[in-house]
Amino acid sequence: MATIYDVARSAGVSPKTVSRVLNGDGPVGQRTRDKVEKAMSKLGYVPSNAARAMRSNRSGLVGLITGAISSTPSNVELSGLPELFIVQGIQRAIEPLNMTLMISDTGGRLDRVPQLMRTFAEHRVEGLIYVADYHKKVDLPDTPGIGKVVIANGYDEQGTPCVLPHDEKGQYALVSEAITKGHRRIGYLTLANALDATRLRTAGYARALADAGIAYDPALVIEADMAEPDPEVETQLLWDAIDRMLGLENPPTLLCMGNDRMAMRAYGILRSRGLNLPGDISIAGYDNYRTLAETLYPPLTTVELPYAAMGVRAAQLLMSLIREEGQAPSEPQLVSGPVCWRDSVVPLVKPNTNVTPIGRKKT
């Protein structure tokens, strides 16, 4: 393998001159530069990035740890690809910055994260982004030499700079707009209560009601999903939650679901009870998995989780830290998405009297 000294001998210059051509850290005449570059090409010389990084403390490398590759769900139509969309957003933001993104997958094993971080430190990455599989608290090891760290779709107790979805704002926007469309009895069938997203979205739901002068009714908020996936149990929970909602003396005119997958199941449950959607009851989801939301009938009103934008923001935040452009933010950077209004929610002109605990009244 050719060395810098071989290039110098072939070009008839000093090793220092070759170094100046490689690093751009000193004046070199064009004729001399051409001779050096011709010699490198002839000898097949490849510069040692590791050695250059040690000298300049700039490797041009950014590390990314994710589980998106190994844990891609088999049924994308039902679950979406949140982690992968975040990774794609990061890649789009890093690509034009003359930086190289090094991606490592956990293989679904969180115990691999410390070793992956040590490996990135050995490669002298200038910064690292850790992508959580959903909005949650994470625990990253303190790894010397790792440079700057940003967490996407998660946070930790140490206050590491992070980017999160604005769950509270999304649910607030959905419920507020539904109220302006005449809905005052709005049910909320939530994801598992243990999730941060449930806590925040429920707070947004409650705030929207309060701002409209509508009293919060605990009977209209029911946990209808599990933290650990189990389709059979989840369907049973959702059936029971809908049954309770329809059994209320004053049932809701709109059911907000924890995500689009739950909304899809609710379509079937409600129709099995003889209800027309959205004529008898409106439905809204959360996530905006377009493959699902746009193909349901009627198309599903839902809130977009801006995963790609979160990835871009995480990359931008990391680059600003690497360039030391101001102090690291003390609070999470929240990224919001729009409410995507479709035909599953209709304006309510009068109270719905067609819904009974069994289903739809016969006319």
In this structure, is residue 341 part of a structural domain? no
* 294 contacts 334 by C-beta, under 8 angstroms: no
Q: Do 311 and 297 share a structural domain?
A: no
pLDDT score for 52:
52
Instruction: Give the number of C-alpha atoms closer than 13 A to the C-alpha of residue 96, restricted to the C-beta side.
Output: 5
Q: Do 179 and 285 share a structural domain?
A: yes
Domain end residue (candidates: 281, 301, 321): 301
Is the model's pLDDT at 58 over the cut of 90? no
Joined tokens for residue 17: 């001159």
Q: Do 209 and 138 share a structural domain?
A: no
Is the model's pLDDT at 274 over the cut of 60? yes
Is the model's pLDDT at 54 over the cut of 80? no
Q: Do 182 and 286 share a structural domain?
A: yes
Q: Do 213 and 251 share a structural domain?
A: yes
Q: Do 142 and 241 share a structural domain?
A: no
pLDDT score for 93:
94
* 86 contacts 318 by C-beta, under 8 angstroms: no
Q: What is the pLDDT averaged over residues 53-61?
A: 63
* pLDDT tier for residue 362 given thresholds of 50, 70 and 90: very low
In this structure, is residue 45 part of a structural domain? no
Q: Do 294 and 208 share a structural domain?
A: yes
Joined tokens for residue 74: 């088999």
pLDDT averaged over the chain?
Answer: 88
Count of Cβ atoms closer than 10 Å to residue 352 Cβ: 17
In this structure, is residue 360 part of a structural domain? no
**Domain housing 271:** 167-301
pLDDT score for 16:
87
Q: Do 213 and 112 share a structural domain?
A: no
Q: Cα separations (Å) of 356 from 71, 109, 247, 281?
A: 42, 48, 7, 11
pLDDT score for 360:
53
Is the model's pLDDT at 351 over the cut of 70? no
Count of Cβ atoms closer than 10 Å to residue 41 Cβ: 10
In this structure, is residue 99 part of a structural domain? yes
pLDDT score for 78:
42
Q: Do 114 and 84 share a structural domain?
A: yes
What CATH number corresponds to the domain at position 266?
Answer: 3.40.50.2300
Using one digit for the tens of pLDDT, what is the confidence trace for 140-178? 988 887 889 999 999 999 999 999 999 999 999 999 999
pLDDT score for 239:
96
Looking at residue 250, what DSSP letter applies? S
Q: Do 292 and 311 share a structural domain?
A: no
In this structure, is residue 88 part of a structural domain? yes
Q: What is the pLDDT averaged over residues 263-273?
A: 96
In this structure, is residue 273 part of a structural domain? yes
In this structure, is residue 353 part of a structural domain? no
pLDDT > 70 fraction of the chain, expressed in percent and rounded: 89
In this structure, is residue 28 part of a structural domain? no
Of residues 169 and 323, more confidence is placed in 169
Using one digit for the tens of pLDDT, what is the confidence trace for 17-48? 988 887 766 788 899 989 988 988 888 876 65
Least confident residue range of 17-31, 152-166, 234-248, 293-307: 17-31
Q: Do 193 and 73 share a structural domain?
A: no
| Rounded distance between C-alpha atoms, residue 197 and residue 363, angstroms | 41
Number of structural domains the chain divides into: 2
Is the model's pLDDT at 84 over the cut of 70? yes
Looking at residue 304, what DSSP letter applies? B
pLDDT score for 147:
82
Q: Per mean pLDDT, which of 89-98, 106-115, 134-143, 174-183 is the most reliable?
A: 174-183
pLDDT score for 76:
45
